Chains A and B, each alone.
Chain A
Amino acid sequence: MLEVRRLTKRFGAVTAVADFSLAVADGETVALLGPSGCGKTTVLRIAAGLERPDAGQVLLAGRDATDWPPERRGVGLVFQSYALFPHLSVRSNVAYGLRFRRGVDRVARVEELLALVGLSGYERRKPHQLSAGQQQRVALARALAPEPGILLLDEPLSALDAALRKDLRAELRALLRKLGMTALYVTHDQEEALALADRVAVMREGRLEQVAPPAELYARPRTPFVAAFLGRANLWPGRVVSVDGDRALVEVAGARFPAARGEAGEGDKVFLFFRPEWVHLGEGPFVAEVEGAEYLGDRWELRARFRDLPLVLVVSRDLRSNRELPFALSNAQAIPR
């Protein structure tokens, strides 16, 4: 188990991580998601012992590991650049972490891991003789070899092309499940985060925005940032005019929409948030003006306007010829702004 408590890290005048807390339970994969420069890699490096936090704690299996050097922590780290040792063969790379452990059958363990990542027979190759995907697998095998208590992955798939990335993503997920591995996975790719993780933690400017299982994060974002960062989102500024239990009525541009109340109270300024696919077209009390559309292969993305507010819609056929479309919202949320 890994837990970081109230981490803060500054580089000169820049605060990379601010009061950041997160716990990764045993056997769980948590994705740390955010735009580049949001501090997610710094959190990972602090967890690995490669950076020292200015404040806060790192707990490994319940023990305060903040001051432990990296070699004592028993964490496996897969680097974005893989960091394979160029002077060592695949076998020696994977066996490297076993040098510092006693009572391990190194030969067997290396074979086992190379079989696990599907690279049996590549033992004698040097890293530069491997494809990017194979290098990635060696990096993974090397990190797993010393049986780390937790696996940290820093954008491990970002250097691969799109098709390979998707394949390896599925493989990686299956592998982590099979090994029952505890993992913290840093990525800026939302699709990767949603596909791989049991829970996703969204970071912004060094702070934690929200942590939740993927489906919940997608359906019930708590902040406008999370709503906009994951998938397509419509966010309309408005105000709560009345509340009733967990429901609220939100006034936007003179129209009133029912919405899930969330944390908003009566009179609060909020965003009315809804996903494009939550909009019902062809019926309903409201009318959108169509402005244009983009063909995306399996669907069309429609740009429209509702009383000066931009509206993104997803439809299955070309509706550009319709100047006006009636619509209704079956599902919307109020997010405080």
Chain B
Amino acid sequence: MAADPGRAVGFRTGAGWALALLPLLFLGVTFFWPLGDVLRLGFQVEGRWSGERILAALSDPYVQRLILFTLEQAALSALLSLALGFPLGWFLTRYRFPGRGLLRAFTIVPFVLPSITVALGFILFFGRSGHLNRFLMSLFGLGEPPIRVLYTLWAVVLAHAFYNAPVVARFVNAAWEGADPDLVEAARTLGARPAHAFATVTLPLLLPSLLSSLALVFMLCTLSFSIPLALGGARYATIEVGVYLYARGVLMDLPRAAALATITLGLSLVLTYLHLWGGGAFSTRQDGGRPAPTVPLFSRDRPVRALWLLYLLPAAVVFLGPIGAVIADSFLHPAPGGVSPTLYWYRMIASPDWNPFIESSPRGAVRMSLLVGFGATGLALVLGISVSAVLRRVRSRILETLLMAPLAVSSVVLGLALLLAFRRPPLSALGGGWAIVLAHTLIVYPFVVRAIRPLWDSLDPTLTEAARTLGAGPFAAFRTVTLPLLGTGVLAAGAFAFALSLGEMTAVAMLSGPGVMTMPMAIYHFLGSRDFGAASAMATVLMVTTALAAWAWDRAGSRWLGGSRA
């Protein structure tokens, strides 16, 4: 008999709803109620509901500029990501060369790198006196730095493309490999030249993926925070940055922050909806009968492939330059007549001495990051597993929407919500660090659910049934069979959650305070005090940790899938 993978042992669907109570209660206290605080502050004027505050915000020229700039940079970022990512996807699909698998795996890395480390890399590499300008000046003997991109729209757009072009490349690669190669060959036998077959067959097949990756990138860039904050400055601020400036920064106007947050909440809901809707409408995934044919990259008879160097070399500079600059600067100390290697910066970030710029000691920031990371990972695993268990049992759109709702709310809004909620009971009873832990839990648990649910669904349901007929109750069966079988996946999800929490800066920016400081925010403050060496050392530690976690995540995922089929 074909078994429904979601089928629950026994027959109590009521148990699913009972199971839903716990996560709903948690989300109620930490998410829905706080979000309600934001909306109340946005919509209530002297105890009555009105749209005055929103309208006032919308008619403020500064806010109008924020909105326009947000959409402008998001659109440009999406287009540049496409322009940079499409050739990479093409390259990965068409050519065989040593290290192809590695390069493909590497495309996930920019996505998991903490955004503040990317921003730092851009400053160190593309800055006025950055590595690229110094190199170009000495190469051509220039007296002035030729590249002036920092603190402009283009710095923000370029950094966003750094992040998202690999995402586009992955989309293109997946769609292209899923397309049936017979179709192109059919076009060729019907008389189409290669370029014509590409334009009339391949491109239309890829179009849905291109559009949906464009939509995703547009959404991510609209809600991006650290990059515009660090690279755009107050002049080139997005709405998200605006919320921060009103709530925590120089502008100090909480009701205006709430009004802006309400606007960005609406925007992110519309974008999420469009993205989900588009994902459904565009996902005409077809299964190619056989893998797409590849050609060797290196061969003597086709020198035209050398043209790829024209793309690959600049791309390598854009992608590797900023990362390399961070790592290099973390080990270098300015010395008379150049630089000298040093571990000074690493000793400095382990220092227990109070640093007024970061309102904490560097060691305290590392400690706080780890505590928050472990706390949020633990909570997110429990919450993520319970939500997965509920959604397996109860097939309800409404429940799924409620339980996954934090996914549609940007981190800035979430931060503002918790900022307000921690000023009143019951949450005010907790310390400031808890606000960050809860924010990170809410940000990362949807990823845990996304990682665990398909794995759980792929488990043979007869295994739990076997356990039940052998005398195990529902919880004993979960503990002794399901959980060990999900084990690797849970660990991988935990590693990923930890990496996300470690690199997350947006919610921290909203919620940090004296003594409550994490590494990414410390890096931001080091930037403000021009402590590039310390910032680089901390960023290197962060990058290595998150890259390791992402790698573990990737490895565990693939090994697990291979092993369970054996």
**Is B481's CB under 8 angstroms from A85's CB?**
yes
Which residues on the B side are within 8 Å of A97 (C-beta)?
470-471
Which residues on the B side are within 8 Å of A146 (C-beta)?
470-471
**Is A142's CB under 8 angstroms from B470's CB?**
yes
Most buried by B among A69, A71, A97, A99: A71
Question: What is the distance, in angstroms, from A144's C-beta to the closest C-beta of chain B?
Answer: 11
**Is B462's CB under 8 angstroms from A71's CB?**
no
A133-151 with Cβ < 8 A to chain B: 142-143, 145-146
Q: Digit string of B435-471 for contact with A (CB within 8 Å is 1, else 0)?
A: 0000000000000000000000000101101111111
In the complex, 17 of the A-B residue pairs with CB atoms within 8 angstroms, ordered by the A residue number, are A41-B1, A42-B1, A50-B465, A50-B468, A69-B468, A69-B473, A70-B465, A71-B469, A77-B469, A83-B460, A86-B463, A87-B485, A99-B480, A100-B471, A128-B566, A142-B466, A146-B470
Query: Which residues of B line the A interface, CB within 8 A?
Result: 1, 9-11, 460, 462-463, 465-474, 476, 480-481, 484-485, 487, 564, 566
A83-100 with Cβ < 8 A to chain B: 83, 85-87, 96-97, 99-100
A43-93 with Cβ < 8 A to chain B: 48-52, 69-71, 73, 75-77, 79, 81, 83, 85-87
**Is A100's CB under 8 angstroms from B484's CB?**
no
Given A52-B11, A71-B473, A83 and B485 contact (CB-CB distance below 8 Å):
no
- Rounded to whole angstroms, the CA-CA distance of A69 and B470 in the bound complex is 11
- Rounded to whole angstroms, the CA-CA distance of A77 and B467 in the bound complex is 10
For residue A178, CB closer than 8 A to chain B, the reply is no
Q: Which 7 A-B pairs give the minimum distances between C-beta atoms? A: A97-B470, A100-B471, A52-B11, A70-B468, A83-B462, A83-B466, A77-B469
Which residues on the A side are within 8 Å of B566 (C-beta)?
128
- Rounded to whole angstroms, the CA-CA distance of A314 and B48 in the bound complex is 94
Which residues on the B side are within 8 Å of A83 (C-beta)?
460, 462-463, 465-466
A-B contact count (CB 8 A): 83
- Rounded to whole angstroms, the CA-CA distance of A71 and B463 in the bound complex is 14
**Is A77's CB under 8 angstroms from B465's CB?**
yes
Which residues on the A side are within 8 Å of B564 (C-beta)?
86
- Rounded to whole angstroms, the CA-CA distance of A48 and B467 in the bound complex is 12
Which residues on the B side are within 8 Å of A50 (C-beta)?
9-10, 465, 468-469
**Is A87's CB under 8 angstroms from B467's CB?**
no
- Rounded to whole angstroms, the CA-CA distance of A41 and B1 in the bound complex is 7
**Is B487's CB under 8 angstroms from A96's CB?**
no
Which residues on the A side are within 8 Å of B469 (C-beta)?
48-50, 70-71, 73, 75-77, 143, 152
Question: What is the distance, in angstroms, from B16's C-beta to the closest C-beta of chain A?
Answer: 15
**Is B10's CB under 8 angstroms from A86's CB?**
no
Q: Which of A41, A49, A100, A128 contacts B470 (CB 8 A)?
A: A100
**Is B468's CB under 8 angstroms from A96's CB?**
no
Which residues on the A side are within 8 Å of B473 (C-beta)?
69, 71
Which residues on the B side are within 8 Å of A101 (C-beta)?
471
**Is A86's CB under 8 angstroms from B485's CB?**
yes
- Rounded to whole angstroms, the CA-CA distance of A96 and B472 in the bound complex is 9
Question: What is the distance, in angstroms, from B14's C-beta to the closest C-beta of chain A?
Answer: 12
**Is B472's CB under 8 angstroms from A100's CB?**
yes
A148-193 with Cβ < 8 A to chain B: 152
Which residues on the B side are within 8 Å of A96 (C-beta)?
467, 470, 472, 480
Which residues on the B side are within 8 Å of A42 (C-beta)?
1
Q: Which of A70, A85, A128 contacts B9 (CB 8 A)?
A: A70
Question: What is the distance, in angstroms, from A182's C-beta to the closest C-beta of chain B?
Answer: 15
Question: What is the distance, in angstroms, from B485's C-beta to the closest C-beta of chain A?
Answer: 6
- Rounded to whole angstroms, the CA-CA distance of A73 and B473 in the bound complex is 11
Question: What is the distance, in angstroms, from A75's C-beta to the closest C-beta of chain B?
Answer: 6
Q: Digit string of A264-299 for contact with B (CB within 8 Å is 1, else 0)?
A: 000000000000000000000000000000000000
**Is A79's CB under 8 angstroms from B466's CB?**
yes
Closest to A155 in B: B1
- Rounded to whole angstroms, the CA-CA distance of A255 and B1 in the bound complex is 46
Q: Which of A51, A85, A128 contacts B466 (CB 8 A)?
A: A85
Which residues on the A side are within 8 Å of B476 (C-beta)?
71, 99-100
Which residues on the B side are within 8 Å of A79 (C-beta)?
462, 465-466
Which residues on the A side are within 8 Å of B484 (C-beta)?
87
Question: What is the distance, in angstroms, from B48's C-beta to the closest C-beta of chain A?
Answer: 51
- Rounded to whole angstroms, the CA-CA distance of A40 and B10 in the bound complex is 18
- Rounded to whole angstroms, the CA-CA distance of A52 and B1 in the bound complex is 16
- Rounded to whole angstroms, the CA-CA distance of A24 and B476 in the bound complex is 30
Question: What is the distance, in angstroms, from A114's C-beta to the closest C-beta of chain B?
Answer: 16
Question: What is the distance, in angstroms, from B493's C-beta to the closest C-beta of chain A?
Answer: 18
Closest to B462 in A: A83
Question: What is the distance, in angstroms, from A149's C-beta to the closest C-beta of chain B?
Answer: 12
Which residues on the B side are within 8 Å of A52 (C-beta)?
10-11
Question: What is the distance, in angstroms, from A20's C-beta to the closest C-beta of chain B?
Answer: 16
**Is A77's CB under 8 angstroms from B485's CB?**
no
Which residues on the B side are within 8 Å of A49 (C-beta)?
10, 468-469
Question: What is the distance, in angstroms, from A147's C-beta to the closest C-beta of chain B?
Answer: 11
Question: What is the distance, in angstroms, from A332's C-beta to the closest C-beta of chain B?
Answer: 38
- Rounded to whole angstroms, the CA-CA distance of A97 and B564 in the bound complex is 23
Question: What is the distance, in angstroms, from A47's C-beta to the closest C-beta of chain B?
Answer: 10
**Is A87's CB under 8 angstroms from B1's CB?**
no
Closest to A36 in B: B1
Question: What is the distance, in angstroms, from A214's C-beta to the closest C-beta of chain B?
Answer: 25
Closest to B11 in A: A52
**Is A70's CB under 8 angstroms from B10's CB?**
yes
- Given A49-B468, A87-B485, A100-B470, 12 more A-B residue pairs with CB atoms under 8 Å apart are A70-B9, A71-B468, A71-B476, A77-B469, A81-B462, A85-B463, A86-B485, A87-B487, A101-B471, A143-B470, A146-B470, A152-B469
Closest to A88 in B: B484
Which residues on the A side are within 8 Å of B10 (C-beta)?
49-50, 52, 69-70
Question: What is the distance, in angstroms, from A130's C-beta to the closest C-beta of chain B?
Answer: 12
Question: What is the distance, in angstroms, from A10's C-beta to the closest C-beta of chain B?
Answer: 13
Which residues on the B side are within 8 Å of A143 (C-beta)?
469-470
Closest to B566 in A: A128
- Rounded to whole angstroms, the CA-CA distance of A69 and B471 in the bound complex is 9
Question: What is the distance, in angstroms, from B477's C-beta to the closest C-beta of chain A?
Answer: 8
Which residues on the A side are within 8 Å of B481 (C-beta)?
85
Question: What is the distance, in angstroms, from B11's C-beta to the closest C-beta of chain A?
Answer: 4
Closest to A44 in B: B1
Most buried by B among A50, A77, A97: A50
Question: What is the distance, in angstroms, from B366's C-beta to the closest C-beta of chain A?
Answer: 36
Closest to B488 in A: A87
Q: Which of B466, B472, B474 contacts A77 (CB 8 A)?
A: B466
- Rounded to whole angstroms, the CA-CA distance of A41 and B2 in the bound complex is 11
Which residues on the A side are within 8 Å of B460 (C-beta)?
81, 83
